[in-house]
């Protein structure tokens, strides 16, 4: 698996698992866009630029991770 395909698969998994709970547990994140990305990954994968995927993985995911870790910390509180 190449780094690009690993990133692609990771994004697809994140999107697939982003059901209703994130909207309330981790507000302020672009959940609609995250779910919309899932549609693009499934149906328009050949039109998505690799540099855009890389930016999502290196810029957006770390920010989302911080917000999720903070939410889990609050839950464990």
- 12 versus 34: the higher-pLDDT residue is 34
Q: What confidence tens digit (pLDDT) does each residue in 19-66 have?
A: 656 777 788 888 888 888 888 888 887 888 889 888 888 998 899 888
Q: H or E element: which one contains 67?
A: helix 61-76
Please report, for residues 3, 19, 65, 76, the alpha-carbon distance to residue 72 in angstroms, rounded to integers and kept in the order given.
28, 16, 11, 6
Q: Is residue 15 a contact partner of residue 34, using CB atoms and an 8 Å limit?
A: yes
Q: H or E element: which one contains 42?
A: helix 31-43
Q: Is residue 7 a contact partner of residue 57, using CB atoms and an 8 Å limit?
A: yes
């Amino acid at each position: 698996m190449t780094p690009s395909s690993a990133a692609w698969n990771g994004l697809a998994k994140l999107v697939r698992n982003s059901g209703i709970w994130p909207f309330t547990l981790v507000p302020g994140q672009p959940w609609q866009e995250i779910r919309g990305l899932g549609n693009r990954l499934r149906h328009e994968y050949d039109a998505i630029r690799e540099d855009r995927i890389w930016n999502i993985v290196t810029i957006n995911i770390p920010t989302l991770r911080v917000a999720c870790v903070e939410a889990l910390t609050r839950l464990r509180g």
